[in-house]
Structure formats: structure tokens, C-alpha cells
Structure 1
Amino acid sequence: MLTMALLGGALMKGWAQVPGTCGELAQGILGKQALHITCPIDCWVSAEVSLEPGQGNIDGLQDRSKTRRALEKLLDQWQLRNHYDVQINLHNPLPKGKGMASSTADLCATLYALAQACQRTLTTQELSNLILAIEPSDGLFLPGISIFDHRSGSKAETITSKIPAIDLLIYDMGGEVDTVIFNSQEELIELNIAKVGQVQQAFDLLVSGLQSGERKKIGQGATISALANQNILPKVNLEIIAEETTALGALGVAIAHSGTTLGILVEREQREKQEKLWQWMNEQSQAYTYLGHYRLVGGGPRYQQS
């Protein structure tokens, strides 16, 4: 029990990290559900949470109101809110407003760290309920590569826990997108329904490719979904980038469907192709910002080994 663990005023600590994302491998409305296939990358967001007996003070989330709201709600659920002071130290290298799940990663890392500090288990369903009460969220907290209903949480299903050896050259195409405002647009549902055929094709290819390990199918599915999203949130020269990078040996492209991020998917062992792709993007007159070279990883929390 937590009260026993804190007997005598001992300081309890928890630490957890979760991956950021390169947007989504695919996203759209299927069967009246707003679904996406996750695209976690090895750009880690970590949180350290400390609790000690106190009056309910929370320190460390002054500029993260969404994370604070979720933390307070979980403390209330566990009847701890007014009995302990909480200190949070967050490390988040993800840029905001780019579709790399910065705020979702903040929320998930913090809540997982709190659960560890309290010696409790936080299920994916409980976490989903907490974060979706704040805003539409990425499924990066689910294990492996997964399908997630980012609005209602009605579907949360792992496609595979065996992560294909895919690297991503990630770029910011410019601008910033507010997730809450974007997802509240009245015309969004109609626009998504219009591309349902392409989305279904993308999901079919991705599920098949992820389960079989056929990386070409993964790239094809991600590209179809990316191009289908051009009528919703267009990215400059995306069609040209997809065509030219594929000709240079890329598997395809993945985007943030409600953000500004673009990822060029390439087989991990193909270093020469990666260099050619980087050089081609670097030569383009359009002012893309290179964000880095990352690996596709599985979702879910990682904890500090004791």
C-alpha cells in the first residue's frame, strides 16, 4: 500500500520515458472511427516524479497546463491530491506544434512516472481515458506499432511488436498546428470521408507489411495516406518529394496528418541511399528544416532499471 511505502515521510520517486513520433504512418476515418497507425521514433521524452507528504503542491509544470490537468485528475482518482507534494522534472526534445506528439508524450511520461513512484500499475485503457479527456492524442503509449482511435479511444490494438528496421529522415515543412483547433474543424469529418478509399488501402498495406515484415508495403501504405491528406492539410511539394525520394531508393514518406512534419522512410542498412536522400532534400530550394535521423521503435513506456 502507498501509505505504508510513505510511512515516516520517505521520498518516493518514479521515472519513465516514452517515444515521440513522426506523425502517423496512416490516419483517417474508417467505420466511423477516427483511426491512426502509430509511428514512434527514438526521440525520447522522459519524466521524473517525486512525492512526499505535503499539502498538494505541484511544481515543475508551470508551462504545461495539459499535463498538470491530467496529473491532478490521476492524483484525485488515487485519493492522493491533498496529501502529497509533487515535483516533476520533464525532458522533452520534441518541437511543439509540429505533429511529433510533444504534448501527448509529456502527458504519458509524467503519468507513467507518477504510477511508478506510487507503486501502482497504470493500464493503457486508464491512460487513454485520462489523456483523451484533455485532447485528441497519439497512441504512442501502446506497445509496438498500433492502431488507435485518437478521439474516443474506442480502438487500441497492437499490429506488431516486431519493429521493422526502418530509419526516418525527418523534416519540418514549416508552420505550426494546434491539435485541438485542427480537430475541431466542422469540415474535417466530411474531408476524411472523401478519402476513405485511400485510407483503407493505406491501412491494408501497412497492416500486411508490418505483420509480414515487408518494408516496401509499409512505405507504400504510408505514402498513400500522406498524399490523401493533401486535401486536408497540404504540404508544399509533397507529391514531388514522394516521387523523387522513392526513385532514389526511399521506401516512402510518412507525415504528421495534423502537423508539419515529414519523414522519409528508408531501410536501415541502406546507408548510401540515406546519404543520397539527405543530399537531394538539402539541394531543394524550398526551406525545409532538417530535424534529424531517427529509428522506428515500438511504443509504450520504458522505466529506469533499479
Structure 2
Amino acid sequence: MPARAGCGVAIGHHGELVQGLFEDDGARLRRALVSLPCRQLKSRARFNASDSDHVDVLPGSCEKARRAAELTISRFARPGTGGDLVINSNIPVGRGMGSSTADVLASIQAVLDYMEIEAASDEVMRIAVSAETACDSTLFKRLAVLFAHREGIVMEAFRRPLPPIDLISIDTTPEVTVDTLAYEPARYDALEIETFRPLRSLLRSAIRHADARMLGRVATASARINERFLPKPGLDEIETIGGRFNAIGVQVAHSGTVVGLMFDALDPNAPMNIDGATDALRSSGFEPAIFRH
């Protein structure tokens, strides 16, 4: 084994653009999502081997990251290999912004980097799902994918990046922490499931043509479908304020607390509109934060 530290980094996200039930190639319905990557949010992991036969992690609360490191070692290294794993992250916890997935992916990458191994993305995702039951698609930084997050399967690779989006982030219930894994999966009715079919088609078209406004409409529709499962207080008001300042839509963390007011990053008026919407949100009692593409 190499006598050096292994390092890994993974980004967080700002919830989802779409989340629901979608048909795979065999017409089986799978829970899947498209995350909205947020490159300002990152988790960094550092792994050093030790004489121990297990992995110790700091902070100690990062149990999923520790589990991911041990699973990676079990898969690629000799039995009995242990080490020290250190996680540094600026991703808020319990907001639905991918904090645990980023920790898990960064940890897997740190162990692989230590062992000087390049693993296929599908193998990395299988380890990630084993470590935390469900994970997000933040491993795929450049190309948008429809990802079955409880199975670690890419259902559709759109072969293009998402159109650039600027975002105003609003934590609708900052006093509440959502445990993603304890949160019961949405039970969609037949009409909602049928609605996901055209939304998937519109999503595909929006990505293919880099149409941010269409993407915003898709995200808003998904947010509205999922509103009955985990309501976001103030969503109507946020959407109304967005309409006054040419926002292209809203998106939410479907198993979290944040709402994102979306703007086309290529619109020359976007900075002015974002400033206006931010002031209006503050006047309404919200505490917005801005994430630029």
C-alpha cells in the first residue's frame, strides 16, 4: 500500500429539479431524480492507513462516510486494512442538500486515491448506496442524469450538462432537520405517475436545447407534485415574488427544507432581478442566500 494520504472531494446540491417515479427500459417504475448541483458546496475527505483493522472518522458523526470507506477497503484492499478518515464540509446538514452523499462519495474517492485505483462510476455508486441506502447523483458533475437514487442506477444519461442556473436559496423551516432516510418515500397516485412521463420528455428537451426557462417549468411542476408529501411553508409567496422578477421557476429539496428560486444565468438582467427578488424576500421575512452558477 502507498505510504501517503488519499484525498477525495465531492460537491453538494440544492435539492432536485425533478423527483418521482419513472419507467426504465423494461417498463418497471423506479424512484429517480435529477439533482441540481451546487459547486460552492463541497465535502473533502482525507484518508491515511494505520495499523488498525477498522476505520476511525472525524467528526465522529460522519458514520455513513466511515461505512463507505470500510466498504471501499473491503472491495479493493486486503482484509484487515484500516485507517483514519477526516471529513471537512461546508454543506448544511438536514436541509436536503446532499451532505451525507457528498461525505460518502468524497470518502470513497479518498480511499481509492490512497490505493491508486480508478473505479467505474457505477461501482462507486453501488458502494455509496450500500453505505447510506440512498444517494444523490452528485458523482456525475458534468452531465445531467436521471438517477435511481435508492438503487444506484443511471436510468437515463442526457449527454449534456444542465443549462446554467443562478439561484436564490430559501430555507423554509430552518428550525427543522429532515432525516432523508427516515423520511417516508412519496406515495404517488396514478395521475401523478402519469404526469412524470411528459415531464421527463420536457426535461430531456430542455437539456438538449439548453432551455433554462423550460427547465424551470419542469422543476416547478415537480415541486408542486411533491408539495403534498413534504410541504414548504411560503412556497406560494416565494413563487409569486419570483414571478415579479422574471424567475424561471422554483425547485425544492424533495426530502429537505430548502426552496430555490431559479434564474437563467445567461440572462443579462438576471443579476438585477436576483437583487430585486432578494430584497423582496427579505421584506417578507425570508432569509435568502444567493448561489451563482
Alpha-carbon distance change, 229 to 48 in structure 1, aligned in 2, over 3 angstroms: closer
* TM-score of the superposed pair, with normalisation by structure 1: 0.84
Give the total of aligned pairs: 280
Report deviation, 1:163.
Answer: 4.0
Asked whether 1:272 is paired with 2:272, we answer yes
Native 8 Å contact 1:235 1:260 kept in 2: yes
User: Residue 19 of structure 2 is aligned with which of 6, 27, 31?
Assistant: 27
Instruction: After superposing the two structures, state which structure 1 stretch, 49-58 or 248-257, moved more.
Output: 49-58
Name the residue aligned to 1:284. Answer: 284
Report deviation, 1:193.
Answer: 4.5
Name the residue aligned to 1:78. Answer: 76
Name the residue aligned to 2:64. Answer: 66
Q: How far apart are the structure 1 equivalents of 2:197 and 2:244?
A: 25
* TM-score of the superposed pair, with normalisation by structure 2: 0.88
After TM superposition, the structure 1 = structure 2 runs for residues 1-306 of structure 1, keeping only pairs within 5 Å, are 3=1, 6=2, 11-31=3-23, 32-52=29-49, 54-61=51-58, 62-83=60-81, 85-133=82-130, 134-143=132-141, 144-174=143-173, 175-183=176-184, 188-189=186-187, 191=188, 193-268=190-265, 269=268, 270-285=270-285, 288-290=286-288, 292-296=289-293
Q: Residues 235-279 of structure 1: CA distance to partner in whole angstroms, max 9, x if unpaired?
A: 113133223312321011110011111111112242101101111
Q: How far apart are the structure 1 equivalents of 2:159 and 2:240?
A: 28
Native 8 Å contact 2:21 2:193 kept in 1: yes
Q: Once the two structures are aligned, what percentage of the paired residues are identical?
A: 24
Unaligned stretches of 5+ in structure 1? 297-306
Instruction: After superposing the two structures, state which structure 1 stretch, 96-105 or 239-248, moved more.
Output: 239-248
Q: How far apart are the structure 2 equivalents of 1:93 and 1:53?
A: 27
Alpha-carbon distance change, 139 to 156 in structure 1, aligned in 2, over 3 angstroms: farther
Q: How far apart are the structure 2 equivalents of 1:37 and 1:114?
A: 27
Q: Residues 34-84 of structure 1: CA distance to partner in whole angstroms, max 9, x if unpaired?
A: 01112101223232423345233433342111111121111111234523x
Q: How far apart are the structure 2 equivalents of 1:192 and 1:126?
A: 33
Kindly provide the amino acid, as one letter, of the partner of residue 214 in structure 2.
K
Kindly provide the amino acid, as one letter, of the partner of residue 206 in structure 2.
G
Kindly provide the amino acid, as one letter, of the partner of residue 110 in structure 1.
S
SS at match of 1:262: strand
Report deviation, 1:119.
Answer: 0.5
Unaligned stretches of 5+ in structure 2? 24-28
Native 8 Å contact 2:52 2:83 kept in 1: no
Native 8 Å contact 1:198 1:225 kept in 2: no
Alpha-carbon distance change, 100 to 162 in structure 1, aligned in 2, over 3 angstroms: same
Name the residue aligned to 1:304. Answer: none
Kindly provide the amino acid, as one letter, of the partner of residue 99 in structure 2.
S
